[in-house]
Amino acid sequence: DDVDRAYFAVFDGHGGVDAANYSATHLHVNVGLHQEIVKNPAEALKCAFQKTDEMFLCKAKREKLRSGTTGVSALIVGNALHVAWLGDSQVMLVQQGRAVTLMEPHKPERE
């Protein structure tokens, strides 16, 4: 279609790099192939995170891998920004020199 899109992501491996590398390789593919990418990009991001997690869990079980990852991704569709994150990764938006809160980070002490 004629809609401009851009995708960015950062993954922070825990207990090794396997989960982070896997996510960096597969998450954007799962987003792009999701049936809702055009109509509902936020849903596509959410489902892609879940699918990528399920895929890595199968690989980890098969190969006896023990790592995990946090992650944050941004999908720009036209002039709309969609942000998704997992774990304690954070994202900051600076607009006209001011920080804009996009999320409340996950912290162990937070309910």
pLDDT in tens, 51-72: 999 999 999 999 999 999 999 9
User: Domain tally for the chain?
Assistant: 1
Does residue 49 belong to any structural domain of this protein?
yes
Range of the domain at 52: 5-85
Does residue 44 belong to any structural domain of this protein?
yes
Mean pLDDT of the chain: 92
6-18 tens-digit pLDDT: 999 999 999 999 9
Does residue 34 belong to any structural domain of this protein?
yes
User: Taking a C-beta distance cutoff of 8 angstroms, is the pair 46, 33 a contact?
Assistant: no
Q: How far apart are the first and last CA of the chain?
A: 42
Does residue 102 belong to any structural domain of this protein?
no
| 83-98: average pLDDT | 89
Does residue 94 belong to any structural domain of this protein?
no
Q: How large is the C-alpha radius of gyration of the chain?
A: 15
Does residue 100 belong to any structural domain of this protein?
no
Does residue 30 belong to any structural domain of this protein?
yes
The answer on pLDDT for 105 being more than 80 is no
